[in-house]
Structure 1
Amino acid sequence: MIVRHTRRADGPARAVSRLAAAVFAVLAVTLTFLPVAQAQPTVPRPDPDPFYAAPADLGARANGDVLRFRPVDVSRYGNADGWQILYRSTNSTGGPIAAVTTVLVPRGGVDRPLVSYQAIINALGTDCGPSHTLFTGGLQEAPVLPLLLTRGWAVALPDHLGPNSAYGAARLGGQVTLDGIRAATRLPQAGLGRSPVGLVGYSGGGMASAWAGALAPTYAPELPIVGVAAGGVPANLNELANGLGTAPHPLFGLAFAATLGLEREYPNRIPVSADLSPEGIALRDQIANDCSQEIIDAGANRSALQVAKNPAQVESAAARSVFNENSVEFYPGAPSAPVHLWQGGADVLAPAESVAATARKWCDAGTRVDLVVLPGDHGPASIEGVPGTLAWLDGRFAGVPAPTNC
């Protein structure tokens, strides 16, 4: 495979990237060394807004069915109409869940190109998802939305961590994303019934996007997905667990939160709560409904050894198995739509080797993959990759053959 490299401008985000990588490292160690036992995970408190409540007949509905919807004011992002949709999806163990996506549609015209934008959500509280942060000022990628709308593209932003805010469960994010697209195209008021669809996301949002692309041929083959753009994708979670320490870290809270998020999705396979120390239980309860900055503040400079009751110095096969199941590199399927991958060449959060291995696997399956490596690490690539990603999506919506460097 030939990989395109582009130049970058240096920036202070390099230090942030190194911290983020270390945080994920602590997550890996926490899951690896906790002994297996029965546990009852925490779940977020129910949203007081009745719109989010699952209907009684949820199990009888099909994936992507619109359960309810309401108009929302999205004028701060452009001349667009907006709706929030509660829809049926499926969790990691095959059970029915109710999920939410927020749809923004430029006024004038129907069947506009639809971009499903998977935001970065580092949180355990349900009010940290885009359906809330779009209107509270907490969505860090908000400046991108006017760029998409002014191109005439509609945008759907799913709360892709699901109703339990299962931070870390990447395959779940792919399923919730695909069912959110189904719901958006099934809402008559949005006028998107025949819209071509593109997927976009970075980091955690990139994981959800990559998973959605890989799952689509079997999970949602009817969707007219014309392109998948995913940046900074941690494609192999186990790779991050090898040879990493347990020293206190300023961003340990995010690692601990992701541990708890995976426990919410796999309570019988990663029963973390049963093995927490009193300090760990207190921290778990403190951040059970928190967003990113609150979690960072609460967990600053702690370590896995402090929150674990009696860490066993043996690897947990169950934890490794769950990591593999949420690592898109190991998923046997491949996207049928063209793929644009971008990342920093020195990105230890999304190591170049695992992303390149995923790209090679998809190339071998016949997917047209365009892999772009930007010098530097995770932070700068999130910004520097935007112009190229928008240009790549322009081509897919215009029907131009996708570039490939397979």
Structure 2
Amino acid sequence: MIRGSSRPALRTAVGAVLAGLMLTSAAPAAPRPLYPTPDPDVFYATPADIDTKAAGQVLGVREQPPLPYFPTASVALVKFRSTNSQGRPIAATTTVLTPRDHSSNAPLLSYQHIINGLGTRCAVSHALYDYDPNLLYRAVPLLNTMLMRGWSVALPDHLGPTAAYGAARLGGMITLDGLRAIRQVPSLGLAESPLAMLGYSGGGMATAWAAALAPDYAPELRLVGAAAGGVPTNIVAMARALGLSPHPMFGLAMAAALGLEREYPDRLPISDQMNAAGLAVREAMTDGCTLELIGQGAMRSAAELATSTSLIDDPHVWEVGAENSLELFDGIPAIPIFEWHTPLDPLVPVDSIDRTNQRYCRAGVRLHSELYPSPDHLATAVMGFPSAVAWLDARFRGEAAPSNC
């Protein structure tokens, strides 16, 4: 086990990262990841003295324009210090929705939305104002029900300032540091609030990692529970099940490859293993969000864009995969967990989810798991959200958590 250490087609994305684009037959070369264009909004900039800040320390707060689809909420953007996968300080952001009739220290839920993108503009804090249909149709009705309950809702930009798509552990740390920061903002009135987390698929990865990391990384947080569905708990298993055939969603594969290279430049020099066609696609995708990524990579493959088709295992590749696979991380949540998935999931290895649940149960975690007979990954999210929110509501009320271990 490793210690201390989304969207559909995540299996393809992560698999291609680990099994296809990191090829061992070429001679080592200096890594040269292509980072996104810096956010033009100076609020997002990293302060020069970030090395002097503590994890979760507030770096700035800005009142945001009201959002018409959240008519009962005010909006604030909080910038804070977090940590990347190399242990270095980074500046991250989270958006906070506060209900109109907010009571001091009322519940605070951190909702980790699925973010598919390599550009800074793909972050949730921008997508909210760009009227992203994926966010509006999937998240807005759900979040409005929470606001009506009197909860404040945080939406972290959990891919970080370099849009490191595919880096699951990073998302967990950013989620926790966002909660730390929000509690320090007096105007939000959340200093003593009970805290919980929710997410599905890629957002579920950030949620589940935050729950597992919290006992060591943020033990002071008053977390009452986490609900995570459709979580890819073992990206190594995903990789080993993937071939090199063309795929309509290969654009997300390429995005995950480039995102992980940004987060692990010294261990995943993926760009140095690409041929001219691969580098051209990389250039075109650098700042892309979902539709651009899918369009650029549709029906391509790692074999087409790489300098070799060697599948010889490189230990560095699998180490990075293991470090971002929850099943292989020996940390145990100290809070109750609600988990849901479909046993028919075509994208996520269900046996990895089951093994992770079993390990948590053996460790004494109060875990409640629900199965939905759906053959579609995203449909399962919709099916499970009502039960997840009801479960979270009970945790905020202080009721004992059920377990079906």
**Where on the TM-score scale, by shorter chain, does this alignment land: which range?**
over 0.9
**1:128-277 correspondence to structure 2 within 5 Å:** 128-138=122-132, 139=135, 140-277=138-275
User: Match of 1:193, SS?
Assistant: coil
CA separation in 2, counterparts of 1:145 and 1:253? Answer: 29
CA separation in 1, counterparts of 2:188 and 2:311? Answer: 54
Question: Which blocks of at least 5 consecutive residues in structure 1 are unaligned?
Answer: 1-15
> What is the TM-score when the length of structure 2 is the normalising length?
0.93
Match of 2:78 in 1: 85
CA separation in 1, counterparts of 2:318 and 2:32? Answer: 20
Are residues 299 and 205 of structure 1, via their aligned partners in 2, closer, same or farther at CA, if it must alter by over 3 Å? same
User: Match of 2:56, SS?
Assistant: coil
Amino acid at match of 2:372: L
Match of 2:4 in 1: none
Are residues 75 and 281 of structure 1, via their aligned partners in 2, closer, same or farther at CA, if it must alter by over 3 Å? closer
CA separation in 2, counterparts of 1:162 and 1:334? Answer: 24
Tell whether the 8 Å contact from 1:329 to 1:358 is kept in structure 2 after alignment.
Answer: yes
Comparing 236-245 with 325-334, greater Cα deviation is found at: 236-245
Question: What per-residue deviation string (whole Å, max 9, x for no partner) do you get for residues 274-333 of structure 1?
Answer: 110100000001000010111001111100011101232311211111000000111111
C-alpha displacement of 1:63: 0.7
Tell whether the 8 Å contact from 2:11 to 2:239 is kept in structure 1 after alignment.
Answer: no
Tell whether the 8 Å contact from 1:99 to 1:162 is kept in structure 2 after alignment.
Answer: yes
CA separation in 2, counterparts of 1:263 and 1:134? Answer: 27
For the pair 1:122 / 2:116, whether they are aligned, the reply is yes
C-alpha displacement of 1:128: 0.4
Amino acid at match of 1:266: Y
C-alpha displacement of 1:33: 3.8
CA separation in 1, counterparts of 2:39 and 2:282? Answer: 19
Amino acid at match of 1:270: L
Tell whether the 8 Å contact from 1:185 to 1:192 is kept in structure 2 after alignment.
Answer: yes
Question: Which blocks of at least 5 consecutive residues in structure 2 are unaligned?
Answer: 1-6
* 1:363 counterpart (357, 361, 364): 361
Tell whether the 8 Å contact from 1:74 to 1:104 is kept in structure 2 after alignment.
Answer: no
Match of 1:295 in 2: 293
> What is the TM-score when the length of structure 1 is the normalising length?
0.93
Match of 1:395 in 2: 394
C-alpha displacement of 1:23: 4.5
C-alpha displacement of 1:21: 4.0
C-alpha displacement of 1:375: 1.2
CA separation in 1, counterparts of 2:16 and 2:263? Answer: 19
C-alpha displacement of 1:20: 5.3
Tell whether the 8 Å contact from 1:87 to 1:180 is kept in structure 2 after alignment.
Answer: yes
Work out the number of aligned pairs and report it. 390
Amino acid at match of 1:261: G
Question: What per-residue deviation string (whole Å, max 9, x for no partner) do you get for residues 77-121 of structure 1?
Answer: 131221101100000011000000000111232111000000100
Match of 1:105 in 2: 98
**1:37-116 correspondence to structure 2 within 5 Å:** 37-76=29-68, 77-108=70-101, 109-116=103-110
CA separation in 2, counterparts of 1:32 and 1:297? Answer: 22
Question: What per-residue deviation string (whole Å, max 9, x for no partner) do you get for residues 131-173 of structure 1?
Answer: 1011111125233221111111100000000000000000000
For the pair 1:26 / 2:25, whether they are aligned, the reply is no
Amino acid at match of 1:290: G
CA separation in 1, counterparts of 2:302 and 2:157? Answer: 28
CA separation in 1, counterparts of 2:154 and 2:21? Answer: 33
Are residues 345 and 32 of structure 1, via their aligned partners in 2, closer, same or farther at CA, if it must alter by over 3 Å? farther
Q: What RMSD in Å do the two structures reach over aligned CA positions?
A: 1.5
User: Match of 2:316, SS?
Assistant: helix
Tell whether the 8 Å contact from 1:230 to 1:340 is kept in structure 2 after alignment.
Answer: yes
Are residues 113 and 388 of structure 1, via their aligned partners in 2, closer, same or farther at CA, if it must alter by over 3 Å? same
Are residues 231 and 366 of structure 1, via their aligned partners in 2, closer, same or farther at CA, if it must alter by over 3 Å? same
